[in-house]
Amino acid sequence: MKLLKIALTMVVLAGLALAEEKVPARFVRVMGTAEVKVVPDRAVIEVGVEKQDHSASVAKHAEDAAARRILAALRAGGIDEKDIQTTYLSLQPQSSYVKKVRVSYFVAQQTLTIMVRDLSKLDGLLEALVKAGGNRIDSIGYQTSDLRKYRDQARDLAVKAAREKAEALAKALGQDIGKAQTIEEGEDSEYTRGIYANANFTFAAREKSASPSLAAGQKTISASVTVSFELN
């Protein structure tokens, strides 16, 4: 009988200890976000050439000739080979109606993606590419060469913002926060306003003193974190 009482006592004590272990920890969970504004120092442009003819061979040869002139203009403009890439090539039959008569022809297209590491050359380079035979500018996007540094800055600011928010919430309850228990990072993001065009055009002759016609603006690099702090 005595052994039974001892066993029951041990079971009760073990149950109480287990119940204490299951008491949920007190914590505050917050999200911190931050943005860093950066002036871009390089650009990626997509320049294309499009030719059409009733003969597939003639259309393709005309596009090839224009593409060679564009490549020569890029090299003359100081663009390194590693910063030039053909990203689209197409030869397609097409048709249209002219005065209710169906006309068939072939369209040859090629797109080059170019990294411009000196933004002061961008205006002049685009003019040279169009003069060389490029009749499409599909897009332009601005970048920063120190993206990793600015992402780290944004992340550090997001963590600081999370801590400040947690401290403010705890203070409103008359409490303090302790150590961080968990931290989760959201997806980094970067945003810049791009310039897009898709048209046949030519540049008018410009004087040497002409001001740039493009504006790089700013990139916004953002970061977010979710942190759980002990609540004392």
Q: What is the pLDDT of residue 210?
A: 60
Q: What is the pLDDT of residue 100?
A: 86
Q: What is the pLDDT of residue 212?
A: 73
Helices (H) and strands (E) in the chain, counts: 4, 8
Burial class of residue 69, CB neighbours in 10 A (0-12, 13-18, 19+): middle
- What is d(CA 204, CA 227) in angstroms, rounded to the nearest whole number? 56
Q: What is the pLDDT of residue 215?
A: 84
Among 145, 136, 144, 142, which Cα is nearest to 46's? 136
Q: What is the pLDDT of residue 205?
A: 39
The crossing angle, in degrees rounded to 10, of helices 56-76 and 122-132 is 150
Q: What is the pLDDT of residue 204?
A: 42
Distance of CA 216 to the CA centre of its chain: 15
C-alpha distances (whole Å) from 128 to each of 202, 214, 226 are 10, 15, 49
Residue range 121-137, pLDDT digits in tens: 999 999 999 999 999 99
Please tell me the chain's helix, strand, coil percentages from 3-state DSSP, rounded to the nearest 5.
35, 40, 25
What would the CATH number be for the domain defined by 42-143? Answer: 3.30.70.2970
Q: What is the pLDDT of residue 47?
A: 96
Domain 26-40+145-196+212-232 CATH superfamily: Protein of unknown function (DUF541), domain 1 (3.30.110.170)
Sequence spans of domains, the chain = 26-40+145-196+212-232, 42-143
Sequence-distant (6+) residues with CB within 8 A of 3 are none
pLDDT in tens, the chain (232 residues): 555 454 444 544 455 555 455 545 688 999 999 999 999 999 999 999 999 999 999 999 999 999 999 999 999 999 999 999 999 999 999 999 888 889 999 999 999 999 999 999 999 999 999 999 999 999 999 999 999 999 999 999 999 999 999 999 999 999 999 999 999 998 776 655 433 333 333 344 344 446 677 888 899 999 999 999 999 8
For CA atoms 134, 136, 138, 142, the dihedral sign is positive
- Six token digits for residue 217: 């603006």
Task: Judge if 26-40+145-196+212-232 and 42-143 fold alike in CATH terms.
Answer: no
Q: What is the pLDDT of residue 70?
A: 97
